[in-house]
Amino acid sequence: MRIDIISVAPDLLESPFNHSIIKRAKNKGLAEIIIHDLREYGLGNYKQIDDTQFGGGAGMVMMIEPIANCIKKLQVERSYDEIIYMTPDAKTLNQSTANTLSLKENILILTGHYKGIDQRVRDKYITKEISIGDYVLTGGELAAAVLVDAVVRLIPGVIGDEQSALTDSFQDNLLSPPVYTRPAEFEGMKVPEILLSGNFPKIDDWRSEKAFERTEQIRPDLLED
Ligand code: ADE
């Protein structure tokens, strides 16, 4: 999968993509992540990328020309399955969206700053808008990093133990059951007996039961779907 990201703060994206699973995915050739500095497409000597809003109001708006020029240049080289805009005023990211996106070949992600982007960019170029939660970040870079992490780890071959991604929380609309490792007893706190029993069908039942209980307590809304 190839992921292109358009950003006004490319430095912010350096670190998240150079660690652990994402790094491994890149090294294995399963994911290619290319960052494009929107400033390079800015207008005039000052490389302007934003301006005051029509109709008045606080905050600068990202202009359509630099973004359109950048997107058009990238589209000459390849067509994108999705052009995604990271913004708080969109549907919230969930596991199902991450699953769907992990099957795509080429994704372009646009990250916003300031008061947002000119609506005409959204109307003309954006095929999908994603928020990572009901709060406002300084810019879309960290949101894009969250999206890329959630998607890339699902690409077949990225995680060594395939089962591990499939049994994550949310894959079946349930939170994960509790997990334990050695020692079997710590300061009087014992690991549930069943997990030491070697009876794997029973262990599966126990895990399903605990996943359901946890979901009922913490995220009952997931059970409504
Ligand atoms: N940009 C700023 N806040 C955001 C959010 N919550 N989700 C996605 N992009 C954003």
The dihedral region occupied by 59, where left means phi > 0, alpha psi between -120 and 50, and beta the remainder, is left
Spatial separation of the C-alpha atoms in residues 71 and 126, rounded to whole Å: 10
Spatial separation of the C-alpha atoms in residues 9 and 120, rounded to whole Å: 22
Q: Which SS3 state, helix, strand or coil, does residue 183 take?
A: coil
Q: What distance in angstroms lies between residue 182's CA and the mean position of ligand 1's atoms?
A: 39
Nearest CA to ligand 1 atom 5: 88
From the list 106, 77, 98, 80, the residue with the least C-alpha distance to 2 is 106
| Beta-sheet strands, E only, within the chain | 2-7, 32-37, 50-52, 60-62, 82-92, 106-111, 128-131, 185-186, 189-190
Reported as a pLDDT band with limits 50, 70 and 90, residue 202 is very high
Q: In this predicted structure, what is the pLDDT of residue 148?
A: 97
- Assess whether pLDDT exceeds 60 at residue 48: yes
Instruction: Kindly report which listed range (13-27, 65-79, 201-215) carries the lowest average pLDDT score.
Output: 13-27
Q: In this predicted structure, what is the pLDDT of residue 177?
A: 94
Q: Which of 117, 137, 141 to mutate to test the pocket of ligand 1 (most atoms within 8 A of CB)?
A: 137
Contact 212, 219 (CB under 8 A): no
Q: Does 167-224 match 2-152 at the fold level?
A: no
Q: In this predicted structure, what is the pLDDT of residue 165?
A: 76
From the list 57, 108, 103, 58, the residue with the least C-alpha distance to 78 is 108
Reported as a pLDDT band with limits 50, 70 and 90, residue 142 is very high
Fold of 167-224: Trp Operon Repressor; Chain A (1.10.1270)
- Assess whether pLDDT exceeds 80 at residue 221: yes
> How many other β-carbons are positioned within 10 Å of the β-carbon of residue 44?
6
Q: In this predicted structure, what is the pLDDT of residue 171?
A: 78
CATH superfamily for domain 2-152: SPOUT methyltransferase, trefoil knot domain (3.40.1280.10)
Q: How far does CA 201 lie from the centroid of its chain?
A: 34
Q: Which of 122, 132, 141, 148 to mutate to test the pocket of ligand 1 (most atoms within 8 A of CB)?
A: 132
Q: Where are the domains of the chain?
A: 2-152, 167-224
Nearest CA to ligand 1 atom 7: 131
How much is the average pLDDT of 29-57? 97
Structure tokens at 149: 């992490």
How much is the average pLDDT of 24-51? 96
Q: In this predicted structure, what is the pLDDT of residue 163?
A: 61
pLDDT tens digits along 163-172: 677 778 787 8
* pTM of the predicted structure, to 2 decimals: 0.93
Chain mean pLDDT for the chain: 95
Q: In this predicted structure, what is the pLDDT of residue 162?
A: 56
Q: What distance in angstroms lies between residue 86's CA and the mean position of ligand 1's atoms?
A: 6
Q: Which SS3 state, helix, strand or coil, does residue 140 take?
A: coil
Q: In this predicted structure, what is the pLDDT of residue 151?
A: 97
Q: Which SS3 state, helix, strand or coil, does residue 21 take?
A: helix
Q: Is the dihedral of CA 92, 125, 74, 45 positive or negative?
A: negative
Spatial separation of the C-alpha atoms in residues 164 and 55, rounded to whole Å: 51
How much is the average pLDDT of 179-195? 98
Q: What distance in angstroms lies between residue 44's CA and the mean position of ligand 1's atoms?
A: 29
Q: How far does CA 36 lie from the centroid of its chain?
A: 18
Q: What distance in angstroms lies between residue 90's CA and the mean position of ligand 1's atoms?
A: 9
How much is the average pLDDT of 11-20? 89
Residue scoring higher pLDDT (19 or 5): 5
- Assess whether pLDDT exceeds 90 at residue 217: yes
- Assess whether pLDDT exceeds 90 at residue 40: yes
Q: 30: Cβ–Cβ under 8 A, 6 or more apart, which residues?
A: 1, 152, 155, 157, 158
Nearest CA to ligand 1 atom 10: 87
